[in-house]
Structures are given as C-alpha cells and as structure tokens.
Chain A
Amino acid sequence: MAYSDKVVDHFNNPRNMGSFKKDEDGVGTGMVGAPECGDVMKLQIKVQDDMIVDAKFKTFGCGSAIASSSLATEWLKGKTIEEAQKIKNTDIVQELNLPPVKIHCSVLAEDAIKAALADYQKKADKPEAAR
C-alpha cells in the first residue's frame, strides 16, 4: 500500500518526538493502544495559562499511526484547551490522505489527544478539590 507524501514526511521527520516527565507541572499524558493491531501511542501536552505551549509523542506502530500522532502534536501547539478538544480524527484523515484501512490510526490519535487533555484537567482540578 502506498502512503501519501505527507505520511512519509511525518514518518521520516517526525515532529515533537519524545516525552515530558509525567508529574511535571501542567503536563497531561494520554496513553492509548489499539488492541486490534497492537499499536501503542503516548501523547503529552504541556499547558501554561490554558494554552498548550508544547506537545510530544512516542508511538509504536505503523507509519500512519506515527504520522497521525506527529501531526496531532503539531496541531496541538499554540491551541487553547478548548480548541484542542475540537480536533477530530476526520481532520487528520483529510490532512494525511489516510486510506480507509488506516482510519483507525487517526482515531487512536484523537483518543490520545482526549486522554492527554483529560489527564491534564484531572491534575489541574485536584488542587481545587483540596481547597
């Protein structure tokens, strides 16, 4: 199967690969997997004043999964939490020209974004709950 140029580009030059310390202030971690294919994705955001200032990912999986998460981190940077919530897997499919058999990779990336945001929110809410 041929990958689109954009997928190949992200695969060869992944953006924002790496990780933050999980317990670092303002960091949200999303860890998701696709049991059907065995792909694993870790996506992290760093938030300051409701703004995502940095994002990183690590993915074990096919080219499309790597490209999807790489693209996701690129899009996340500079977005507010609210804007980030709106990223849909279909946007990723469109941008990367993913074929139908690879749509689940974009779903995984959306799940990872949602999980990272939820983790950040959970951590951010905690001090309030203690108050």
Chain B
Amino acid sequence: MDQHHTHNTGSRDLRMARSMCWHCQSEMSGEYFCERCVKVQPVSKETDYFTCFGLPRRLTIDLKKLEAKFYEMSRAFHPDFYQNKSETEQTISLGNAATLNTAYRTLRDPIQRAEYLLDLEAGSVKDIRTSPPSDLFEEILELQETVEAYRASDRTSETGRRLLTQLVAERQALDQRKQDMEHHLQQICTDWDALQDRGEATSQARTERDRLLKQMREILSNRTYVKNIVNDLAATIG
C-alpha cells in the first residue's frame, strides 16, 4: 500500500514543478490563469479530476455544485474565447476544455466516479485481486444457456413461451440485484468519505481503507458482470 503514498507525493511534486507560467516564467499563484500576465495555463495531466474542480477526494458529490463549477470553468476555457489569442493559448484552452469534459462526465456518474477513485487510490483497478465470484459466474453461464435455448426455440411454441416467462423473471431478479449492489456501493462510498474526513493515520485506519477499496472493487466488478448479462437479456427479450 506504500506505493500509493509515493504515487500521491509524486503527482504533487509534478504539480509543483510546473507551477511556473509558460509565458512570463513567473511563479504561478493563480489556479488556471497566470496572475501576472493573465495567460491561460494548461491543466496538468497529473491533476486528478477531483482537484481539477477544486473538490476533495470524496465520493459523495453535490451534483449541483459540480455542474455550476463545470459551467464556470467551461466558460473560462471555451475555445471560442481564444480565437483572437496566440496559437499556444488556443491549444491550451482546447486541451483544458477536453480534460474538463472528461472530468465532468467521470465525476457526474456515481459508478464511474467510484471506478476513478479506485484507480487513483489503488493504482490500476486490476491490482486488487478479488477471488472470482464462482456462484455468480455459474449463474451467468446457466442463464446464458437458457437465453440461447430461447433464441433457438420457436417463440410461439409452448417451450418458447415458457422460456420467455423464465427469462423475464430472471431479468427482474437481476435488475433487483444490480440495484442492491448499487445501494451497497453507496454505503461503502459513505463509509469511505467518513474515513477520509476522520483523517486518521493509524494502522487500523489503513486496514479499513484497504478493506473499503477491496469491497468497492468487488461490487463494481460484480455489477459489471450482472450488467453484461442483463444487457444481453434485454437485447434478446426486448
């Protein structure tokens, strides 16, 4: 887990290193505009999306505030306002606008937000190995067989109708499960935020941190599996 700390420090160093205006070389004190020459500054690739919007790294976000901040920054970076500026400034504004859009889309959606936080906190999401949920996999593979049997069946026959009824019920159950998973995820997100707010550096807090990240990872993965089969079902039975 130590590597995450070095990772964080690393990105902070990079932010420090670029805190010089590309135009007048003066030290940057403003956030995205140089206070001395008022030139727009590029959003560093190392800046995470939370920091980008001036938000703490928390999973509960006030969407209204996020939207307001996004609009405010969009206006500041909008390429239309840079048409009479230098080519460098045009490029920077375009890059910033694109980064901003991705950042907004990611943070707006609670699932993507959690995936993103997991990426930041635990390195690549794949790094946390969770044991594969065998029961869920068996279920998915079995269900897929039913889906295939239905596809191959004469839909007006009794078998076809029976399979359809079964699939409709399965789909409902899976939808419910997906919702349950999302509720559970929400709970973990709240726990995560509370842990961050307490800001303890004890080994107990670190264990709790790892446990929450692992759970988040597990639910997000399982949700992807369920989502996949639900989509497949939806495509088949409409």
Contacts and interface: CB of A to CB of B under 8 A. Distances in A.
Interface stretch (B13-21, B88-96, B136-144, B165-173): B136-144
Contacts of B220: 35
A37 B221 CA distance: 9
B103 interface: no
B227 A31 contact: no
Contact of B140 (A36, A37, A60): A60
A15 interface: no
B238 interface: no
A101 B229 CA distance: 21
Contacts of B134: 31
A114 interface: no
B199 interface: no
Contacts of B141: 40, 42, 58, 60
Contact of A60 (B221, B227, B228): B228
B70 interface: no
Given A33-B132, A33-B221, A38 B227 contact: yes
B137 A42 contact: yes
B167 to A, nearest CB: 15
Interface residues of A, number: 12
Interface residues of B, number: 20
A35 B125 contact: yes
Contacts of B137: 31, 33, 40, 42
A35 B224 contact: yes
Give chain B's interface secondary structure class. Answer: helix
Contacts of B145: 58
Interface in B141-189: 141, 144-145
Contacts of A37: 224, 228
A32 B225 CA distance: 11
A6 B217 CA distance: 35
Contacts of A33: 132-133, 137, 221, 225
Nearest to A19: B141
Given A60-B228, A60-B229, A35 B140 contact: no
B147 to A, nearest CB: 9
Interface string B211-238: 0000001001100110111001000000
Interface string A13-40: 0000000000000000001110111111
A38 B144 CA distance: 13
Nearest to B226: A38
Contact of A40 (B125, B126, B140, B217): B140
List the 7 shortest-distance A-B pairs measured between CB atoms, nearest first.
A38-B228, A35-B221, A38-B224, A58-B141, A60-B144, A40-B137, A38-B225
24 contacts: A31-B134, A31-B137, A31-B138, A33-B132, A33-B221, A33-B225, A35-B125, A35-B126, A35-B220, A35-B221, A35-B224, A36-B125, A36-B126, A37-B224, A38-B225, A38-B228, A39-B228, A40-B225, A58-B141, A58-B145, A60-B141, A60-B144, A60-B229, A60-B232
Given A33-B137, A36-B126, A40-B225, 5 more contacts: A31-B138, A32-B132, A33-B133, A35-B220, A58-B145
Interface of B: 125-126, 132-134, 137-138, 140-141, 144-145, 217, 220-221, 224-225, 227-229, 232
Interface of A: 31-33, 35-40, 42, 58, 60
